[in-house]
Amino acid sequence: MPILRTSPASPFGRKVRIAAAVAGLSDRIRIEAADTNDANDALRQQNPLGKIPTLLLDDGEPLYDSRVIVEYLNEAAATPVLVPPGPGRLAVLRHQALADGLLDACILQVYEGRYRPPELRGEQWLAHQRGKMERALAHLATHHAVPGTGVPHIGEIAQACALGYLDLRFAGAWRTEHPALVAWLQDFAARVPAYALTAPTA
Amino acid sequence: MPILRTSPASPFGRKVRIAAAVAGLSDRIRIEAADTNDANDALRQQNPLGKIPTLLLDDGEPLYDSRVIVEYLNEAAATPVLVPPGPGRLAVLRHQALADGLLDACILQVYEGRYRPPELRGEQWLAHQRGKMERALAHLATHHAVPGTGVPHIGEIAQACALGYLDLRFAGAWRTEHPALVAWLQDFAARVPAYALTAPTA
């Protein structure tokens, strides 16, 4: 059975876990914790970038990053619901890229605290990432706040995970600014039980 | 005609330009310079993340990031040579993800100098990114230094762009450590004229 190396708070790991659930594959993947900061964790042999999530296939081959794992899940599913083929395919992938990029901008702000002492924090860098975060949120609120129907695609899943990460690390400040996205996330959570089941623990 | 917003030194822009050439689509895309640091550049409206490359389609729809643009090129090509379908597809995508991740680790080191004054540079952060860079290079040298044949796939193209970026920004120090990759890149450049044609200008 494939093994997913991840951690409970990883937003990209959450994306893959929700994607697996939506694709009907949760029972066919085993979760195994990984510590990205532990040089002795086998993760750095499995993925030279030392990043999670990393999926270990039955033949020992690793798959990374999260988008490649999503392609695997999409192929392994009975129907390719995560990235539906057809004319809307690239729009779904762009939606995922935007949500992933929003996450990257959030994570770089969090890492500013994690990987350097307070006296080395850089306001210019933080403002640069905050700009990306704010523009991405505004774009999602304008273009992607209409509740979806049926099985969510990977763009919606990635968006939910980005908003969930904002709740975890940025005290939900986005909620005041973007009520349309709050309503969207509430609807997503009601439609997709895996969202609550994968709620991060800090 | 689709417009590619990029800059001459962008390694992900180079990846897309080489991919377009390999897919036989160079004549069907117009290049337009973009300045990621200019808040007045339309780029931030076209892509809320403010990142290059961003491709503007004829109907005005933007596509990003580079991987999504590559999927577009792969679909638009006469044959899907960039990401060939079949059993090797996920390995090609993983290869691209590794090269992209290597690039990210390099770029974050470069940005440390670009977005903060010298007194705010963080040795712990730089070492963290250097570790990713060194492990990724070692992995590529062990597993991806056998010269390819025929039309290169996107994993090979991404690897060449990552090594080209190391030449540009890290003074080619990787060349001493990894002669097998030096030979690989020489072969790639001989096979793929677009590599020299897209050589970055700092």
B99 touches chain A (CB under 8 A): no
DSSP, residue by residue, B62-109: EE-SHHHHHHHHHHHSSS--SS--STTHHHHHHHHHHHHHHHHHHHHH
pLDDT at A102: 98
Note whether B111 contacts A125, CB cutoff 8 Å: yes
Q: Is A43 exposed, middle or buried (0-12, 13-18, 19+ CB in 10 A)?
A: buried
The pLDDT assigned to A155 comes to 98
Residue A201: what pLDDT? Answer: 73
Q: What is the pLDDT of residues A145-163, one digit of tens each?
A: 999 999 999 999 999 999 9
The full set of domains in chain A, from first to last, is 3-76 (3.40.30.10), 89-197 (1.20.1050.10)
Question: Would you call B51 an interface residue with chain A, using a CB distance cutoff of 8 Å?
Answer: yes
Distance CA B6, CA A186 (A): 37
Who among A49, A102, A136 is closest to B98 (CB)?
Answer: A49
A1 CB-near residues (< 8 Å, 6+ apart): A28, A29, A30, A58
What per-residue confidence (pLDDT) applies to A158? 98
User: Residue A75 and residue B94: Cβ atoms within 8 Å?
Assistant: no
Can you spell out the DSSP letters for A58-111? TTS-EE-SHHHHHHHHHHHSSS--SS--STTHHHHHHHHHHHHHHHHHHHHHHH
Sign of the four-CA dihedral B83, B84, B90, B96: negative
Reported ipTM: the value is 0.97
Whether the ω angle into residue A38 lies within 30 degrees of 0, i.e. cis, is no
Answer whether A67 sits within 8 Å of B97, measured CB to CB: yes
Residues constituting chain B: 202
* B172 Cβ under 8 Å from any chain A Cβ: no
What is the pLDDT averaged over residues A173-192?
97
pLDDT category, A202, cuts 50, 70, 90? low
Please tell me the distance from the alpha carbon of residue B77 to that of residue B194, in angstroms, as a whole number: 16
Q: Please report residues of B whose CB lies closer than 8 A to that of A73.
A: none
pLDDT, tens digit, 9 for 90 and up, residues A105-144: 999 999 999 999 999 999 999 999 999 999 999 999 999 9
Q: Residue A172: what pLDDT?
A: 81
- From the CA atom positions of chain A, what is the Rg in Å? 17
Contact of A127 with chain B, judged by CB distance below 8 Å, is answered with: no
> Is the pLDDT score of B171 beyond 90?
no
Average pLDDT for chain B:
96
Instruction: Please determine, for residue A75, whether its predicted confidence score (pLDDT) is greater than 70.
Output: yes
Q: Which residues of B touch A128 (CB under 8 A)?
A: 115
What average pLDDT does range A13-25 have in this prediction? 98
Instruction: State the average pLDDT over residues B49-65.
Output: 97
Match 């390819």 to its residue by tokens: B148
Taking residues B147-158, report their average pLDDT.
Answer: 96
In this predicted structure, the answer to whether residue A189 has a pLDDT above a threshold of 90 is yes
Q: Is the dihedral of CA B69, B37, A109, B97 positive or negative?
A: positive
Average pLDDT over residues A41-63: 97
B188 and B195 Cβ atoms separated by less than 8 Å:
yes
Question: B137, B174 in Cβ contact below 8 A?
Answer: yes
Q: What percent of chain B has pLDDT over 70?
A: 100
pLDDT at B202: 58
* Total CB pairs under 8 A between chain A and B: 102
Residue among A71, A89, A135 minimizing CB distance to B44: A135
* Among chain A residues, CA nearest to B39: A131
Sequence letter at residue B68: V
